[in-house]
Amino acid sequence: MGQEDLMNKAEDVADQFLRVTKQYLPHLARLCLISTFLEDGIRMWFQWNEQRDYIEATWSCGYFLATCFVLLNLVGQLGGCVLILSRNFVQYACFGLFGIIALQTVAYSILWDLKFLMRNLALGGGLLLLLAESRSEGKSMFAGVPSMGESSPKQYMQLGGRVLLVLMFMTLLHFDSSFFSILQNMVGTALIILVAIGFKTKLAALTLVVWLFAINVYFNAFWTIPAYKPMHDFLKYDFFQTTSVIGGLLLVVALGPGGVSMDEKKKEW
Q: In terms of residue numbers, what domain contains 228?
A: 16-135+153-263
Number of domains present in the structure of the chain: 1
The model carries a pTM of 0.84
Determine, yes or no, domain membership for 93. yes
Determine, yes or no, domain membership for 237. yes
**Three-state secondary structure of the chain:** CHHHHHHHHHHHHHHHHHHHHCCCHHHHHHHHHHHHHHHHHHHHHHCHHHHHHHHHHHHCCHHHHHHHHHHHHHHHHHHHHHHHHHCCCHHHHHHHHHHHHHHHHHHCCHHHCHHHHHHHHHHHHHHHHHHHHHCCCCCCCCCCCCCCCCCCHHHHHHHHHHHHHCHHHHCCCCCCCCHHHHHHHHHHHHHHHHHHHCCCHHHHHHHHHHHHHHHHHHHCCHHHCCCCCHHHHHHHHHHHHHHHHHHHHHHHHHHCCCCCCHHHHHCCC
Whether 150 has a pLDDT exceeding 70, the answer reads no
pLDDT of amino acid 145: 44
- Average pLDDT score, the chain: 84
pLDDT of amino acid 99: 95
- Arithmetic mean of pLDDT, 178-188: 80
Determine, yes or no, domain membership for 11. no
pLDDT tens-digit map of 122-145: 999 999 999 988 874 334 444 444
Pairwise pLDDT comparison (13 vs 95), residue with the higher score: 95
Determine, yes or no, domain membership for 200. yes
Determine, yes or no, domain membership for 209. yes
Which band of pLDDT confidence, cut at 50, 70 and 90, is reported for residue 29?
Answer: very high
In this prediction, what percent of the chain has a pLDDT beyond 70?
89
Determine, yes or no, domain membership for 194. yes
Which band of pLDDT confidence, cut at 50, 70 and 90, is reported for residue 189?
Answer: confident
Which band of pLDDT confidence, cut at 50, 70 and 90, is reported for residue 3?
Answer: low
Determine, yes or no, domain membership for 146. no
Determine, yes or no, domain membership for 269. no
pLDDT of amino acid 147: 42
